[in-house]
Chains A and B, each alone.
Chain A
Amino acid sequence: MRLVARTRKTSRVREAMLPVAAVLASLVICGLLILIAGANPISAFGIMVSAAFGGKFALTETLARSAPLILAGLAALVALRTRFWNIGGEGQILAGAMASAWIGALPNLPAPLLIPCMIVGAALAGAALAALPATLKLKLGVDEVVSTLMLNFIVMYVMMALLSGPWKDPLTGWTDSPDILPAAEFPTFWRGTRLHLGVLIAFGAVVVIGVMLSRTTFGLSMKIVGENPKAAKHAGLNVARVTLFAALVSGALAGLAGAGEVGGTQFQVIASISSGYGYAGIVVAMLARLSPAGVIPAALFLAALTTGADEMSRQTSVPFFIADAMQGISLIAVLVAMTLSRYEIKFDSFERASRS
């Protein structure tokens, strides 16, 4: 058995089936893990599904949890399309969260301006944080994988310093930032659920980014720069400008995720405000195979994993961390599936099996 490079176009159906196959494969592998943990995989998955999708509360909770994943996924997608390896989503989310928490607690800002300023401020903070490694890459050739990743830690420790310093509650000593003003809390658009403005922004962003990538010259430039920077240069595109633009958009999207968590869920900055959404965003983008529309099911899948695993660990002997394992396994499965899609598996015993 060997792999032979595919020379024909792959069909659209095949393309769409790949992530589905990958998710199924990861479910099977995780079923084995659940079995090892001493539970029945079928009933464990049943608990997860009903906890994530069974009923209004479960469903809306999964939707609310998917919002930061959608935005982080779009952030990763925009950057990856241009081959700007933005691993800094986590730090950009934190920057957005801090900016919106600060603006949201400003006492002398007119109340109607609070929410718009939080949103714009978070996007700018995220974009500014992404601009730094992008500029370093374009001017000095600094590898962005390292610089964006390292910035995550710097931003995280800056945040911890703020939380245990200026933002520390003088009375209780809790390391949380001050609550944002009531007028700064994102409105919910369905009473009794946590479906807040941030969720709307996330879904709106999918449409905006989708249109930008498929209908505008910006989107086509980003694709060309991402696929073949040398050809882009020959074609007269300004590769540096396109890359910087993509980095800014990517950072802004991640910053918006931070605003949603502060304005819609926590109403303050807490140490676990992001809890890895930035990294999960890369998984979302890959599961979505860099298609904006695919980001929604991919983010819902990961959100369902966390809500579902919560409930499963309460009811069975399986630890909560199975969600992390499934997330990782599904990413690996998708990467393998994407590689395999470019090849055909050829069995040498069938000499005429396929075209090489």
Chain B
Amino acid sequence: MSEEVPVLVLSGITKTFGNVIANNAVTLEVRRGEIVGLLGENGAGKTTLMNVLFGLYRADEGTILVEGKQIHVTSTADAISLGIGMVQQHSHAVERHTVLDNLLLGLPGSNGLLDKTSALQRLKEIGDAYGLRLDPARPVHTLAVGERQRLDIIRALFRRARVLILDEPTSVLTPQEVEGLFSALRALKADGVGIIFISHKLNEVRAITDRVVVMRRGEVVAGVDNDDTVTNLSLATMMCGHEPERVVRVPHQIGDPRLVARGIELDSHGSQSPLPINLTIHSGEILGIAGVSGNGQVALAEAIAGVKLPRHGSVSIDGVSIDNPSPAVMQKAGLAFIPEDRIGAGFVGPMALKDNMVLSRFSDAPFSRKGWINWKNILDFANMQIAEYDIRPPDPRMPVGLMSGGNQQKAIVARELAFEPRVLIIAQPTRGLDVSAIAFVHRSLMRLRDSGCAIMLISDDLDEIFQLSDRVAVMYENSVVWETPIETATVSTVGLAMNGSLPTQDAAA
């Protein structure tokens, strides 16, 4: 790296909200053809910084230089025209329009007309150069998650982005798709595009980036070249300021079958009608459910929890078959369900934390008697849980919707564990959480397992599945296509199964 002008320089960016300093004199540099990993816990200021760069917030102080020239970004349109592209976790494309129409959207036309011919030409060039191919005629709603992300990247390149920001780009991809994304990123890098890669997944950050910048409490605390000395542990330590706790699975005595699901048939997904699902989870066992999101994990969880009954199938807990399953009946039978959509399905956002802590139990003693609510007992219970799980802010009257994702998850875990479930179904338990909150949730799950609970852990995060599960089942197109003890599974075999290709005995070995 010589005297070359960096493609992007953020210098001395300060952004405050009231008396909260979200970014404090942050300086970040991206050179041509460099991939910079941006790491930090939730609330460290990564998103604020990127929103300043992308024109969603205006910085209080600091300057932004693109290829040496100072720019003033006042809107996302500015940012785009200045060569800054952003690929967010969830695509914001127009569902009913085709790929091509979405690409033309917002492009300056010639004399007010859209130039489809040259757009098609450019799409082909991008496909050839970076391996990013999409059929221009396909409507966006038919695209898979990975393809939508490809569309977002192509859209940024259409606008000649010199800097590409990717915010948690791999959370929706299979391991194989991640490889595809990485090879596209390498091709872009070779072409001189500067890339900012934001992720919680340290393995991926180490695999793809040239340099890693770590933020903590609004400041850049470290910037290191990604070489052999960088490890997951060293990165995590930089992120939280101390050595993080990593929960390690200790093999555990597995007991009798607790949850037995037989012949569960979910609605068909695509052309194939799904196979009936048979699952058994034993006392003291964690069954990990892996799969690309949208392959029936939610439907399976809701079927077992009685929220949305499957076409066929039966469930029994501790040998007692459940005749008319409903959420209330399943709860009575000892099942707890922590859905992926915490705020949408697990909580009532505008309601106080204390009321949410008894959402499914306020009709029972001691929270009410003969229809009369005992608010004092509810408040006492909430305060106890707040203290035990260190939920913040420690205000039982706080509307849950205003709490951070990590504290919402703590609260919902606290709530469900308080009633000592015999079976727990938990979906995406650590999505969007930072390192300390993840350790907390993992520790809670391990403790619950040790106490004999049968746990079904649904996660997109393969690391998490491998870290906690005793067995793993892989879902593809609403069927369980493969199930194996964790000792005989590898990331690559599970990844293959996630794509619907069954691992052979050789691959599994």
Contact = CB atoms under 8 A, between A and B. Distances in A.
Given A9-B398, A236-B328, A351-B58, A230 B372 contact: no
B347 A236 contact: no
B60 A227 contact: no
Contacts of B345: 230-231, 234
A223 interface: yes
Interface stretch (A131-139, A186-194, A213-221): A213-221
A215 B347 contact: no
Interface in B318-355: 326-331, 337, 339, 344-351, 355
Interface in B91-117: none
B344 A230 contact: yes
B16 interface: yes
Interface residues of B, number: 39
A113 to B, nearest CB: 30
A230 B328 CA distance: 14
B359 interface: yes
A234 B399 contact: no
Given A8-B402, A233-B307, A228 B17 contact: no
A355 B331 contact: no
A172 interface: no
B17 A235 contact: no
B270 interface: no
A354 interface: yes
Contacts of B57: 356
B13 to A, nearest CB: 13
B328 to A, nearest CB: 3
Interface in B4-22: 16-18, 20
Contacts of B355: 220
A234 B327 contact: yes
Contacts of B399: 9
B373 interface: yes
Interface residues of A, number: 29
A119 interface: no
Interface stretch (B120-128, B185-193, B360-368, B439-447): B360-368
B63 to A, nearest CB: 15
Interface string A251-278: 0000000000000000000000000000
Contacts of A236: 326-331, 360
A234 B337 contact: yes
B371 interface: yes
B58 A228 contact: no
Given A235-B360, A351-B60, A355-B18, A216 B351 contact: no
B371 A217 contact: yes
A189 to B, nearest CB: 30
Nearest to B344: A230
Contact of B327 (A216, A223, A233, A348): A233
Contacts of A219: 373
A352 interface: yes
Contacts of B397: 9
Contacts of B351: 223-224, 227
Interface string B357-395: 001101100001001110100000000000000000000
B327 A228 contact: no
B16 to A, nearest CB: 6
Interface string A1-31: 0000001110000000000000000000000
A228 B349 contact: yes
A216 B371 contact: yes
Nearest to B326: A236
Contacts of A223: 348, 351
Contacts of B337: 234
A231 B17 contact: no
A9 B344 CA distance: 19
B359 A231 contact: yes
Contacts of A238: 328
Contacts of A351: 58, 60
Nearest to A225: B348
Contact of A228 (B328, B339, B348): B348
B312 to A, nearest CB: 21
A7 B351 CA distance: 14
Interface of A: 7-9, 215-221, 223-224, 227-228, 230-238, 348, 351-352, 354-356
- What 5 pairs between A and B have smallest CB-CB spacing? A236-B328, A355-B18, A235-B360, A236-B327, A355-B17
